Amino acid sequence: MAAASDGEAASLAVLSSLVDLLGYRAAEQGGERAYILLADRGGEERAITFAELDRRARALALRLAERAAPGERALLLFPTGIEFLIAFFGCLVAGIIAVPMMLPRRQSARDSSASILADCTPRLGLATAALIAGTRGDITGRFPGLDWLAVDDPLCAAAADPPQPVHRAVTAGDTAFLQYTSGSTSQPKGVVVSHANLMANLAMMRAAFGNTRRSTYVSWTPLYHDMGLIINVLESLYSGALCVLLSPVSFVQRPLAWLRAISDYRAEIAVGPDFAFALCVDRYRPAEMADIDLSCWKLALNASESVRAETIRRFAATFAPHGFAAAAMYPAYGMAEATVLISGGRRGAGPLIRRLSRDGLFRHRVATPAGEADTREVVGCGAAFPGERIAIVDPESGLRLDPDRVGEIWVAGPNVAHGYWQNPEATAETFGGRLAGDDDTRWLRSGDLGFQGEAGELFITGRIKEIVIIRG
């Protein structure tokens, strides 16, 4: 098994883009199912093989190339489903920059869609025929001036025979897509993610997760979000594994449906933010879980927001009777500016939780608690991946800090994105960190606070913008 895995790692290492990756999977595992979409009330709604996804993406790319040139942007507006995947990979094949975006809320003028539209000035709008027809409000009216294309139109599925090339070969340095930040504290910014960034981060994750072609994923996280798109959809493709998709609405309404799908498909990997694990505990009903076996779940990745020790304990205790192993819990840390993941632990090692002085952390010191009232628990989020570096830095002086000090988390590596779309000032501020005495390395300044423990274990303690300085 190790030799086969090493051989595949070598084959993957020579691929330079996601287009190459999809082609590789279509050639190696063409008839196998790559993605399954589950209906909101259970059962399979639709599935697609690696070969069919490759064929549909290349067929769509021909239609896209008739309407836009490489480097132009296409807005992707889809519910969770197979059409999103076809649209995303179709853009990649055509060299068009995909811009995945949340469907705008009904009758809402306060979402970020107008800001994103103005920032990236897309030429194309891709959606399903039903959405373009107005089944969820006037989508085309909300985004005027776009050339709309229904991905499920039969013309988009018709492949040329013989196959025709689309413009030019995609290279590692090409921009694959723009991942927009949430915009919760400022205007959304489009992170420019290249094929090289993606392939580097996917390789890091595969090595850390220890996954194989048999490591089925089950995901409910939105596909316009980096957790849903990269950690689930693209990482499963990188490993050649099946990915089972549920809609976010289905999960919120019935959280235990996520766990049932993990059990039914014998999934090894399922990923979610901390609130998702807490919600499963809150909605736990023994009668609904009587036949659910979670012993197959080897990596329960908890990331995207603060990881809470209490959530980890509650989830492990609640679902231990159903075969869930506490060591499967996998806290991790990441951000869109580093493609997605920055740090993670060793599969099966379990979470590392430390009890520290609350007062010490307020003073940016790592210290032993003076008593129970002075205690705060922090969860380790693993160490830097191979080929990547993490530094704890004084944000004012740029000096590295000692292990007993809390500072800003800086990151350098091939997974760090190029910057923000057409925003040189914000790019220089966030992506242009320089350590004192080192002029060669460009560091990503995360804006997060933390420290590194033994073996480089990273602990997150807060955000710089959450600090209020009083009298120094």
Contacts 24+ apart (CB under 8 A), 195-198: 195/16, 195/17, 195/18, 195/19, 195/92, 195/170, 195/171, 196/16, 196/172, 196/414, 197/339, 197/414, 197/415, 197/416, 197/417, 197/418, 198/18, 198/230, 198/234, 198/339
Position 1 scores a pLDDT of 33
Report the 3 state secondary structure along 60-119. Answer: HHHHHHCCCCCCCEEEEECCCCHHHHHHHHHHHHHCCEEEEECCCCCCCCCCCHHHHHHH
Residue 305: which of 267, 277, 282 has the closest Cα?
277
Residue 319 · residue 345 · CB < 8 Å? no
Report residue 187: phi and psi, to 5°.
-60, 140
Residue 451: CB atoms within 10 A of its CB come to 25
Position 114 scores a pLDDT of 84
- CA distance linking residue 329 with residue 313, whole number of Å: 10
- DSSP code, position 241: -
Residue 190 · residue 119 · CB < 8 Å? yes
Residue 274 · residue 305 · CB < 8 Å? yes
Per-position pLDDT tens, the chain of length 472 = 333 467 888 999 999 999 999 999 999 999 999 999 999 877 889 999 999 999 999 999 999 999 999 999 999 999 999 999 999 999 999 999 999 999 887 655 556 788 899 999 999 999 999 999 886 667 888 888 899 999 998 887 776 555 566 656 899 999 999 999 875 556 889 999 999 999 999 999 999 999 999 999 999 999 999 999 999 999 999 999 999 999 999 999 999 999 999 999 999 999 999 999 999 999 999 988 999 999 999 999 999 888 999 999 999 999 999 999 999 999 999 999 999 999 999 999 999 999 999 999 999 999 999 999 999 999 999 999 999 999 999 999 999 999 999 999 999 999 999 999 999 999 999 999 999 988 789 999 999 999 999 889 999 999 987 654 444 3
What DSSP line would sit under 14-70, residue for residue?
T--SHHHHHHHHHHHHTTSEEEEEEPTTSSEEEEEEHHHHHHHHHHHHHHHHTT--T
Cα-Cα-Cα-Cα dihedral sign, residues 239, 242, 247, 252: negative
Residue 385: which of 413, 357, 362 has the closest Cα?
413
Which residues partner with 127 through β-bridges?
150
12: which 2 tokens? 């993957």
**Cα angle at 369 between 365 and 375, to 5 degrees?**
100
In the three-class reduction of DSSP (H, G, I as helix; E, B as strand; rest coil), residue 403 is classed as coil
In the three-class reduction of DSSP (H, G, I as helix; E, B as strand; rest coil), residue 412 is classed as strand
Answer yes or no: pTM beyond 0.85. Answer: yes
Which residues partner with 66 through β-bridges?
none
Mention every residue, 6+ apart, whose C-beta is less than 8 A from residue 162: none
Position 160 scores a pLDDT of 56
In the three-class reduction of DSSP (H, G, I as helix; E, B as strand; rest coil), residue 155 is classed as helix
Residue 103: which of 126, 73, 130, 78 has the closest Cα?
78
Q: Which amino acid is at 263?
A: S
Position 472 scores a pLDDT of 36
Position 2 scores a pLDDT of 38
Sheet (strand 389-393) strand order? 389-393, 407-412, 444-452, 458-463
CA atoms within 13 A on the CB side of 159: 13
**Cα angle at 353 between 349 and 354, to 5 degrees?**
135
Position 187 scores a pLDDT of 81
